[in-house]
A and B are shown apart, each in its own frame.
Chain A
Amino acid sequence: MEGVRVDGVERVFRARGRRGVEVVALHGMDLRAAPGEIVAVVGASGCGKSTLLELVCGLQAPDAGTVAADPAVLMPQRDLLLPWASALDNAALALRVRGVPARRARVEAVPWFERFGLSGFEDARPAALSGGMRQRVAFVRTLLAGKPVLALDEPFAALDALTRQEMQGWLARVLAEEPRTVVLVTHDVEEAVVLADRVVVMSPRPGRAVAELEVGLARPRHRTDVAVVALRERALEALGAPA
């Protein structure tokens, strides 16, 4: 087990069609996540956070530097549930695409529905679910992939503020019981401080790590805790935002 190691990574995109136009998404990016550690990555929109996660998941290769990570599963920004499949089948997709027969895959997914408060919605199609429920189904799918590393890309960004807070508390409890190596990308500094062991702050594009904050606070944490607020201010300062 090595967790996640990203060393001096550079990633350059060449705009299609127009020659010579290059976008340097990441430049000299470092990231470490020890096995079982929850690392939050915060940064402005467009600073290369999603690119970083795709590198960790092996979906892209760096143009320079090295990426070494245990097998990682991506939870994309949007839930990407299949609209024709039931909630249960959507969660079980992670098993189905690895060749597990339909019935066995469902049997394996059902206990997670009970744990995540999704009981009774097994047969509901995604369109009938609330945003928070869809995100939980997507998370079950992510867990069922059985990978040691979870790459979560702004998982709650699309939810309304109240649901997002609930989901953050929920994720904190889930990860306490199901420890995984987590790289949590977010642009919500508060979310990072509430959930993570460590917060990595990225510069605007080209993205690289400019600050690192050990959180080291007891859980459960609340956004109103004095220590949480203090850390949030420090992170915002590192981001260059007016505190």
Chain B
Amino acid sequence: MTRFGRIGDPPATLSVPRPRRRGGRRRPSGLLGALGTAAILLALLGAWELYAQVGGVDPLILPAPHQVASSLWLDRSLLWDNLRVTAGEVLLGILVAGVAGFACAVALHVSLALRRSTYPLLVASQTIPIPLVAPLLVVWLGFGLGPKLVIIGLISFFPIVVTTLDALARVDPEQLKLLRTLDASRWRILRHVELPAALPGLFSGAKVAVAVAVIGAVFAEVFGGSSSGLGNLVQQAIPNLRTDRAYAAVLILSAFAIVLFGLLTLAERLLVPWAHESPNGRNR
């Protein structure tokens, strides 16, 4: 075999690899962003504290931040125990929704008939009023993890299916033509091109699902007759005149959602780093 001219070699420096661009989006440096968030938080807390002190509000309705902070500290083991319960429900729920949602999106993508017939039902499933069905689920599945997983899974499932399906649909039609001239079967197109291309969609969906899954967990605990979890703690705290504890629990829930979101973003960067690079084929 002959060697063809190596175009990348000197003196022709034309084909030297481009410096890699990291991240498709411009964003302020992490430190700046964190400082900004902290500043906004501090301002909000300050305003809240001031209002609680001089506004003459009943602390049972609106506790001051310092009261919430003290509950965070004094009730730390109670909060921690309940966080573990809720976190377990949320993680398991998102996992179930992720697996089922991805599989469902692929099935809908492959079968037009299925997509036409099932997609409207999927949208309809999002209008199910959870407070109404939660007690029924309890009757049906008992007081354990079952009804919570169903509720969290049900509302996390939808964003995952939608974003995964969109990612599948966005595969370049030219790419599919190319694959057909390479004699690729439907299954091999799916396996080698479409499934990997759908992964960023799965991550986007899971990120949206984090927020709704946490709300879903609270609903599930409140309306599903739960005896533990942060949602349950909030519900118990209010009639016991422990509004500060209720606020503390909500704070923990938000922090948990932020952490989960951050972890997903990190996993996304590690597992699908190409998703935010310059788009495939910068040629036009």
* Residue in contact with B177 in the complex, picked from A74, A81, A131, A134, CB distance below 8 Å: A74
User: Using Cβ atoms and an 8 Å threshold, which residues of chain B touch A101?
Assistant: none
A residues near B278, Cβ cutoff 8 Å: 127
Check if B188 sits within 8 Å of A166, measured CB to CB.
no
Which of A31-39, A170-178, A182-190, A198-206 is the interface stretch? A170-178
Is B17 close to A, CB under 8 A?
Answer: yes
Q: Please, which residue of chain A has its CB at the minimum distance from the CB of B180?
A: A59
Interface centre among B4, B5, B193, B275 (most CB of A within 10 A): B4
| B177-A59 in contact (CB<8A) | yes
Which residues of chain B have a CB within 8 Å of any CB of chain A?
A: 1-9, 12, 14-18, 20-21, 172, 174-175, 177-185, 188-189, 192-193, 196, 272, 274-275, 277-278, 280-284
Among candidates A82, A157, A169, residue contacting B5 with C-beta atoms closer than 8 Å: A169
Residues in A whose Cβ lies below 8 Å from that of B3: 114-115, 117
| Bound CA span A129–B12, Å | 15
In the complex, which residues of chain B have a beta carbon less than 8 angstroms from the beta carbon of A131? 15, 282-283
Interface pair A173/B280, CB less than 8 Å apart: no
Most A CB within 10 A of own CB, among B5, B14, B179: B14
Point out the residues of chain A lying under 8 angstroms from B183, CB to CB: 97-98, 145
**Smallest CB gap from A151: residue in B:** B181
A170/B5 in contact, CB under 8 A? yes
Are B181 and A72 touching (Cβ within 8 A)? yes
| Beta-carbon nearest neighbor of B284 in chain A | A158
Which A residues form the contact surface with B (CB < 8 A)? 54, 57-59, 72-85, 93-94, 96-99, 111, 114-117, 121, 124-134, 136, 141, 145, 147, 151, 157-160, 162-163, 166-167, 169-170, 173-174, 177
Shortest beta-carbon distance from A220 to chain B in Å: 11
Measured between alpha carbons, how far is A176 from B283 in the docked complex, in Å? 27
The listed residue (A84, A121, A128) touching B272 by CB distance below 8 A is A84
B9 — which chain A residues lie within 8 A by C-beta?
117
Q: Is the CB of A80 within 8 A of B4?
A: no
Report chain A residues within 8 Å CB of B8. 117, 130, 132-133
Say whether A132 contacts B184, CB under 8 Å: no
Contact for A158 among B14, B177, B275, B283, CB less than 8 A: B283
Q: A78-B284, A97-B189 are in contact. List 13 more A-B contacts (CB 8 A).
A: A75-B178, A80-B172, A83-B280, A98-B183, A117-B7, A130-B16, A141-B182, A145-B182, A147-B181, A151-B181, A158-B281, A159-B283, A169-B5
Q: How far is the CA of A76 from the CA of B282 in the complex (A)?
A: 13
Task: With both chains docked as a complex, state the minimum distance between the C-beta of B104 and any C-beta of chain A, in angstroms.
Answer: 23
Among A78, A96, A121, point to the contact of B174 (Cβ < 8 A): A78
- In angstroms, Cα B284 to Cα A130, docked, is 15
Give the chain B neighbours of A59 by CB distance below 8 A: 177, 180-181
Residue contact A78 to B281, C-beta cutoff 8 Å: yes
25 contacts between A and B (CB under 8 A): A54-B177, A59-B180, A73-B182, A74-B177, A76-B178, A77-B283, A78-B284, A79-B283, A84-B196, A84-B274, A97-B182, A115-B1, A126-B280, A127-B277, A128-B17, A128-B18, A132-B7, A132-B8, A141-B182, A145-B181, A145-B182, A157-B283, A158-B281, A158-B284, A166-B12
